[in-house]
Amino acid sequence: AQKITQTQPGMFVQEKEAVTLDCTYDTSDPSYGLFWYKQPSSGEMIFLIYQGSYDQQNATEGRYSLNFQKARKSANLVISASQLGDSAMYFCAMSRSRYNFNKFYFGSGTKLNVKP
């Protein structure tokens, strides 16, 4: 069974500091994708970053980077220089390989609060 674990229900970070949101996964598939989404209070799910299981380098998108450690099955999200607008729920997700329509498995989420 596929499983995504986010062990931090809530996190606080000071504005302008970096923060790491943890995500571990469990799968026996050789090919999979890892994703992070941001969900503000409005409810929309905003795609942040993607890492493929065969990617050699860690993904980066602006202030977001994904610390991918395949052997440890972790895919932590690092947000640098936190901003007040970063306060939201963050979900880690994993997709299976293409034959299963790339169905997503979501973690339970981490609520990030950025303090001024």
Partner 1 sequence: GAVVSQHPSRVICKSGTSVKIECRSLDFQATTMFWYRQFPKQSLMLMATSNEGSKATYEQGVEKDKFLINHASLTLSTLTVTSAHPEDSSFYICSARGDWGETQYFGPGTRLLVL
Contact residues for partner 1, defined by CB under 8 A: 33, 35, 37, 42-47, 50, 52, 91, 95, 98, 101-104, 106-109
- Distance separating alpha carbons of residues 44 and 82, to the nearest angstrom: 20
Helix (H) or strand (E) holding 57: none
> What minimum distance in Å lies between the beta carbon of 91 and partner 1?
6
Residue with Cβ nearer partner 1 (10 or 16)? 10
Sign of the Cα pseudo-torsion (26, 32, 38, 42, in order): negative
99, 31 in Cβ contact below 8 A? no
Residue with Cβ nearer partner 1 (14 or 113)? 113
Residue with Cβ nearer partner 1 (18 or 45)? 45
The backbone torsions φ and ψ at residue 85, rounded to the nearest 5 degrees and listed phi first, read -70, -5
Residue with Cβ nearer partner 1 (13 or 91)? 91
> What minimum distance in Å lies between the beta carbon of 69 and partner 1?
20
- Distance separating alpha carbons of residues 27 and 17, to the nearest angstrom: 33
> What minimum distance in Å lies between the beta carbon of 108 and partner 1?
5
